[in-house]
């Protein structure tokens, strides 16, 4: 069964609005959650790393005020895309690890900003 549950799978929003994406770890505690973005026919690009109870670490070029990450509990991390614009349309995926040898991904969220 799924180890990481991500919702929603699809979302269409109007330009200027905000969208929240949730990622839950099932049956285990995820101290660290990774957030990726993937544009069509491109690779996954790490946006930020969230750690439970502390501020997220953002990769270079990712605006922390635009992509708000909250990791308030060991089973839930959220990514909020604020004031979304069409160029933010992408596939967003969360991931966590169990031990050092396996990484598990959420189902992904296809965001379309119109």
Partner 1 sequence: GQNIDQPTEMTATEGAIVQINCTYQTSGFNGLFWYQQHAGEAPTFLSYNVLDGLEEKGRFSSFLSRSKGYSYLLLKELQMKDSASYLCAVRDRDYKLSFGAGTTVTVRA
Between 15 and 59, whose beta carbon lies closer to partner 1? 59
Q: Where are the beta strands (DSSP E) in the chain?
A: 4-7, 10-13, 19-25, 32-38, 44-51, 57-58, 67-73, 76-81, 90-98, 102-105, 109-113
Between 34 and 67, whose beta carbon lies closer to partner 1? 34
The rounded distance, in Å, linking the Cα atoms of 35 and 58 is 10
Omega within 30 of 0 (cis) for the link into 8? yes
Between 82 and 107, whose beta carbon lies closer to partner 1? 107
Token match 């909020």: residue?
80
Residue numbers 27-46 binding partner 1 by CB under 8 A: 34, 41-46
User: Residue 77: phi, psi to the nearest 5?
Assistant: -130, 140
Q: In whole angstroms, how close is the CB of 108 to partner 1 at the nearest point?
A: 4
Residue numbers 77-106 binding partner 1 by CB under 8 A: 91, 93, 95, 100-106
Count of residues touching partner 1 (by CB under 8 A) = 22
What is the contact surface with partner 1 in residues (CB under 8 A)? Answer: 6, 34, 41-46, 49, 91, 93, 95, 100-108, 110
């Amino acid at each position: 069964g799924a180890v990481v549950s991500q919702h929603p799978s699809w979302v269409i929003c109007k330009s200027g609005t905000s969208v929240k994406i949730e990622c839950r770890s099932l049956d285990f505690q995820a101290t660290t959650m990774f957030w990726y973005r993937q544009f069509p026919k491109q690779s996954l690009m790490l946006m930020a790393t969230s750690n439970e109870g502390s501020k997220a670490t953002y990769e270079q070029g990712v605006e922390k005020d635009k992509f708000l990450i909250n990791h308030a509990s060991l089973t839930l991390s959220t990514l909020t895309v604020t004031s979304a614009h069409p160029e933010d349309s992408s596939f967003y995926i969360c991931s966590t690890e169990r031990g050092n040898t396996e990484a598990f991904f959420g189902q992904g969220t296809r965001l379309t900003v119109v």
